[in-house]
Amino acid sequence: MDPNKHRPSSAFDSSYWTTNAGAPVWNNNSSLTVGSRGPILLEDYHLVEKIANFDRERIPERVVHARGASAKGFFEVTHDIAHLTCADFLRAPGVQTPVIVRFSTVVHERGSPESLRDPRGFSVKFYTREGNFDMVGNNMPVFFVRDGIKFPDMVHAFKPNPKSNVQEKWRIMDFFSHLPESLHMFTFLLDDLGIPQDYRHMEGFGVNAYTFLNKAGKEYLIKFHWKPTCGVKCLSPAEAIKVGGANHSHATKDLYDSIGAGNFPEWKLFIQVMDPDHQDKFDFDPLDVTKTWPEDIMPLQPVGRLVLNRNIDNFFGENEQIAFCPAIVVPGVYYSNDKLLQSRIFSYADAQRHRLGPNYLQLPVNAPKSPHHNNHHDGLMNFMHRDEEVNYFPSRFDPVRHAEKYPIPDSVVSGRRDKCVIDKENNFKQPGERYRSFSPDRQDRFISVVVDFLSDPRVTHEIRIIWISYWSQVDKSLGQKVASLLHVKPNI
């Protein structure tokens, strides 16, 4: 065995117990003691190592998306979009790329039930020939806030009260009473879609707008949509209580069992395409993450299919240690000026460096499968074997060169430094359109959840009036129904 090429793996196994350093362990049942009853000797290195490793088995859980499940598979291009992007993994129909996907709840802790009302994460890591591409999204197409500076406050409002350690609805209603931009997202969260039946029966969205660039450098604004071939199914609040009470890991089990039985989950990928020159033609800002793009104007265009046909080999290694970041893109895919996306570009990688360490991209599940080279050296838990003498650039002793240039957006950016809101907030129109698209019974279920949130005893009269005003501006009849059920006179 070449020790420089060996990589620690359970597949490289011994027929007997050893320490982490490889020394044989002749008794893994009893501690080393003075006599048969003790005391235990500190020199029992195997005991100390075993306990010390056990004490450190848990890593910091994610602040959000802590509860999740992953699976592997492939993405196959089914439609030619080479005129839109020069991304290699989208180069032609029939091209397949290995992927790993992580589904998750957002707010609640790692051991929480998967049946709680909450958005769901839907993140796909493409292992392309040009490096990894992380498509980090949710099962809802919009978001609560449009500026990342509010994200920590938003999460704090949804998280348990720091005094009682209980999630409390009055805190959510209080915080978002200051942010009418959240109304559109609440028409998803408080709707039936707020409790998906499982991970297989839900949609996925890139949420943010991205940029595609073709070989000529032409730019297109893009939104990603995943549509499950088995349809969208949700749980009613009563069903969620029953399902969650029977098995708090029901969605993880459903995903694992379905793949194990050969019933492979599949999604179709669609995109919406906008010419960047047309951004000012709408009554909303297309880069505002609280808005959807009208499908009658920008129809869904098919791109490919995602098939999950393999369960992960180890939950910790490929679910807890997997790390996504929307900054990880490939040539032909770039960011937009979406304010929330711009902050996510920093936040995600920064969170993983804290949670997993500065070399988290060396972990097998996160490492690219394509050749890669740079001079990033050392640091905590660095296990990259290197024997080069030159770790600087440029050098006449190192033949590594720059990659071929690929297009990135070259539009001119100008403006005054300022902290301000966008010009076209238009917070009420799209939530109203969505509410009016519901069937009458679905409207009733939505109203019931809205009233439940506003009925929290610590929601003040002032906050109720504000929310009734918001919902009245979304839809007059909606505001009136909420006010009537809360026994409050609407101030319209």
Judge whether residue 8 has pLDDT over 70.
no
Final residue of a structural domain among 347, 362, 377: 362
- Number of other residues whose CB lies within 10 A of the CB of residue 244: 19
The answer on 199 and 319 residing in a single domain is yes
> Is 348 annotated as belonging to a binding site?
yes
SS (H, E, C) the chain: CCCCCCCCCCCCCCCCCECCCCCECCCCCCCCECCCCCCECCCCHHHHHHHHHHHCCCCCCCCCCCCEEEEEEEEEECCCCCCCCCCHHHCCCCCEEEEEEEEEECCCCCCCCCCCCCCEEEEEEEEEECEEEEEEEECCCCCCCCCHHHHHHHHHHHCCCCCCCCCCHHHHHHHHCCCHHHHHHHHHHCCHHHCECCCCCCCEECCCCEEEECCCCCEEEEEEEEEECCCCCECCHHHHHHHHHHCCCHHHHHHHHHHHCCCCCEEEEEEEEECHHHHHHCCCCCCCCCCCCCCCCCCCEEEEEEEEEEECCCHHHHHHCCCCCCCCCCCCEEECCCHHHHHHHHHHHHHHHHHHCCCHHHCCCCCCCCCCCCCCCCCCCCCCCCCCCCCCCCCCCCCCCCCCCCCCCCCCCCCCCCCCCCCCCCCCHHHHHHHHHCCHHHHHHHHHHHHHHHCCCCCCHHHHHHHHHHHHHHCHHHHHHHHHHHCCCCCC
Catalytic residue selected from 132, 138, 359, 366 = 138
Judge whether residue 4 has pLDDT over 70.
no
The answer on 105 and 13 residing in a single domain is no
The answer on 135 and 86 residing in a single domain is yes
178 noted as active-site residue = no
Catalytic residue selected from 65, 108, 184, 225 = 65
The answer on 120 and 18 residing in a single domain is no
The answer on 354 and 273 residing in a single domain is yes
The token pair that represents 176 in the structure block:
């978002």
Please check whether residue 416 lies inside any domain of the structure.
Answer: no
pLDDT digits (tens, 9 = 90+) for 437-480: 999 999 999 999 999 999 999 999 999 999 999 999 999 999 99
Contact between 255 and 199 (Cβ < 8 Å): yes
The answer on 260 and 127 residing in a single domain is yes
Residue 490 is predicted with a pLDDT of 62
Residue 1 is predicted with a pLDDT of 46
- Number of other residues whose CB lies within 10 A of the CB of residue 417: 4
Please check whether residue 403 lies inside any domain of the structure.
Answer: no
The token pair that represents 63 in the structure block:
């602040």
Residue 41: give the domain boundaries: 1-57
Judge whether residue 93 has pLDDT over 70.
yes
> β-strand 333-335 against 301-311: which pairing, if any?
unpaired
The token pair that represents 201 in the structure block:
């029966």
Please check whether residue 186 lies inside any domain of the structure.
Answer: yes
Please check whether residue 337 lies inside any domain of the structure.
Answer: yes
Reference 279, options 269, 288, 270; nearest CA is 288
Would you call 273 exposed, middle or buried from its count of C-beta atoms within 10 A (0-12, 13-18, 19+)?
middle
Cα separation, 202 vs 54, whole angstroms: 37
- Residue 285 or 392, more confident: 285
pLDDT digits (tens, 9 = 90+) for 362-397: 999 999 999 888 888 888 888 888 888 888 889 899
Cα separation, 123 vs 37, whole angstroms: 53
The answer on 326 and 469 residing in a single domain is no
Cα separation, 210 vs 338, whole angstroms: 8
pLDDT digits (tens, 9 = 90+) for 32-83: 999 998 899 999 999 999 898 889 999 999 999 999 999 999 999 999 999 9
Residue 371 is predicted with a pLDDT of 86
Q: Which residues make beta-bridge pairs with 312?
A: none
Final residue of a structural domain among 362, 380, 404: 362
Please check whether residue 397 lies inside any domain of the structure.
Answer: no
Domain at 197, CATH number: 2.40.180.10
pLDDT digits (tens, 9 = 90+) for 95-144: 999 999 999 999 999 999 999 999 999 999 999 999 999 999 999 999 99
Q: What angle do CA 354, 380, 313 make, to 5 degrees?
A: 75
20 noted as active-site residue = no
Contact between 103 and 168 (Cβ < 8 Å): no
- Output phi, psi for 124, to 5 deg: -125, 125
The answer on 341 and 452 residing in a single domain is no
pTM of the model: 0.94
SS (H, E, C) 44-73: CHHHHHHHHHHHCCCCCCCCCCCCEEEEEE
Cα separation, 471 vs 172, whole angstroms: 16
Q: Which residues contact 289 (CB under 8 A, 6 or more apart)?
A: 142, 143, 145, 146, 207, 208, 209, 338, 339, 340, 341
Residue 378 is predicted with a pLDDT of 87
Please check whether residue 383 lies inside any domain of the structure.
Answer: no
The answer on 113 and 7 residing in a single domain is no
Residue 379 is predicted with a pLDDT of 85
Final residue of a structural domain among 333, 362, 391: 362
The domain tally of the chain equals 3
Cα separation, 165 vs 163, whole angstroms: 6
Q: Which residues contact 180 (CB under 8 A, 6 or more apart)?
A: 427, 428, 470, 473
Please check whether residue 147 lies inside any domain of the structure.
Answer: yes
Amino acid at 118: D
